[in-house]
């Protein structure tokens, strides 16, 4: 569309003319000058216009305000000092928002190619009729090795009980996958596709997270129509515990208010550098902005061993244990501990027997990290490899003791 500018002109036809004697041109030059200027009597003094006075006043006010602001800014520290205003440490932090204006698009550009969609087909038995039916599932994963290893949730792949897994790559290609490893208590799984040269996500460090840091989730919420949706928020909390089925819990979770919905499961939670700091796992349905992710440092040793050896083997400690609260309810006794694992049996020729662990001991820490229940004990064991030596803190006869265990 072409726009035509209207020439601005002033029509003085409604102004009352002032009476001045009209000068008669005495020469040809004077006559030419008179007729070329205007058909109106422009020899009279121009009448001032109110709007021009308004503009002058407005410009003066703006300049005065700017000068006043500059003076105030320049002398602000002295003014604050005179009034007794304290300069808190937080006020010295310089925030440069212009650097964050593109952080989300930059993270998306960096991480999006390594995010995949995952669809599954499983056979389920109808509890009432006893017949089998095919059910489909949807989730997300993140590529952790260019040879096709993908990290996701255990529940995304049916805890390993699925007939078919299809991975949808960034370019839209669909390739079959198989489960290499999964652990329900961690809600983690590694699957593999036959491919090479895939884009790999950069893994971050979840041990050094702080509440308030940027958190960005990428996944496939509510179906592939919304694939690779990016949502943003912050780290809302750390070391959260949420219940699973029965008396099981999943612990040490990252809480975020970045929107997480069905289909986001298994997708990455990223920091402002585009590094994976967690694997999205759950959302509290009764509340808004309550999403949870498994810290990436929980998965790192598992991923590393699978990439190196093609499989993962958890270290062996050699006990049969039970949660303290379960033991106390069953026996009616108090073990003088709020959390921990009661050793019901020490297996022969095991690392536990070699370390002189005994029936009745209560494991409360490994390497200084609290062991709340059997689930957290199992999760801690995933950090180590055969041959690693660790310090295990136990309660024995009401007293704390440290023992050294070398894992097989």
The structure tokens listed for 18 are 């002032």
Output the CA–CA distances (angstroms, integers) from residue 363 to 19, 63, 98, in the order listed.
110, 73, 50
Question: What single-letter DSSP state applies at residue 21?
Answer: P
Taking the C-alpha atoms of residue 53 and residue 308, their distance in angstroms, rounded to an integer, is: 81
Half-sphere exposure of 42 (CA within 13 A, CB side): 8
Q: Any idea which residues carry the catalytic annotation?
A: 155, 187, 265
Half-sphere exposure of 390 (CA within 13 A, CB side): 26
Nearest alpha-carbon partner for 152 in 300, 266, 260, 296: 266
The structure tokens listed for 147 are 């040879």
**In this structure, what is the dihedral angle of CA atoms 137, 139, 144, 147, given to the nearest 10 degrees?**
40
Taking the C-alpha atoms of residue 388 and residue 408, their distance in angstroms, rounded to an integer, is: 8
Residues found in the chain: 408
The structure tokens listed for 298 are 């929980």
Compute how many other C-beta atoms are within 10 angstroms of the C-beta atom of residue 289: 15
| Alpha helices (H) in 160-239, listed in sequence order | none
Residue 295, H or E segment: strand 291-295
Taking the C-alpha atoms of residue 185 and residue 19, their distance in angstroms, rounded to an integer, is: 101
Counts for the chain of helices (H) and strands (E), in that order: 7, 18
């Amino acid at each position: 569309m072409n726009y035509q500018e209207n020439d601005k002109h002033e029509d003085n036809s409604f102004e009352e003319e002032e009476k001045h004697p009209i000068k008669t041109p005495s020469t040809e030059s004077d006559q030419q000058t008179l007729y070329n200027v205007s058909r109106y009597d422009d020899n009279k003094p121009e009448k001032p216009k109110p709007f021009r006075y308004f503009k002058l006043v407005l410009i003066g006010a703006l300049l005065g305000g700017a000068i006043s602001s500059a003076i105030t800014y320049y002398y602000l520290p002295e003014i604050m000092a005179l009034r007794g205003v304290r300069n808190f440490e937080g006020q010295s932090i310089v925030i440069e928002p212009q650097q964050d204006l593109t952080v989300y698009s930059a993270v998306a550009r960096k991480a999006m190619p390594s995010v995949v969609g995952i669809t599954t087909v499983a056979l389920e038995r109808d509890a009432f009729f006893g017949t089998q039916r095919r059910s489909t599932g949807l989730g997300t994963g993140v590529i952790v090795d260019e040879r096709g290893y993908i990290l996701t949730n255990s529940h995304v792949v049916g805890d390993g009980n699925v007939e078919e897994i299809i991975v949808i790559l960034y370019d839209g290609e669909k390739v079959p996958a198989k489960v290499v490893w999964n652990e329900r208590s961690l809600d983690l799984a590694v699957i593999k596709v036959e491919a090479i040269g895939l884009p790999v996500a950069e893994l971050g460090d979840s041990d050094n997270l702080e509440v308030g840091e940027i958190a960005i989730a990428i996944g496939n919420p509510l179906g592939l129509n919304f694939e690779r949706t990016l949502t943003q928020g912050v780290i809302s909390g750390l070391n959260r515990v949420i219940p699973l089925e029965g008396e099981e819990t999943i612990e040490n979770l990252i809480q975020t208010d970045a929107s997480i919905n069905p289909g986001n499961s298994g997708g990455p939670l990223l920091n402002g550098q585009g590094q994976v700091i967690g694997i999205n796992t759950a959302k509290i349905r009764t509340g808004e902005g309550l999403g949870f992710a498994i810290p990436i440092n929980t998965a790192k040793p598992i991923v590393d061993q699978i990439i190196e050896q093609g499989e993962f083997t958890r270290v062996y400690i050699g006990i049969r244990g039970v949660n303290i609260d379960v033991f106390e309810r069953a026996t009616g006794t108090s073990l003088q501990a709020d959390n921990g694992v009661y050793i019901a049996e020490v297996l022969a020729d095991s690392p536990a027997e070699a370390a002189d662990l005994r029936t009745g001991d209560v494991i409360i820490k490994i390497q200084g990290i609290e062991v709340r229940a059997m689930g957290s004990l199992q999760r801690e064991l995933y950090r180590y490899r055969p041959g690693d030596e660790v310090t295990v803190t136990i309660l024995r006869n009401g007293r704390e003791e440290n023992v050294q265990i070398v894992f097989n």
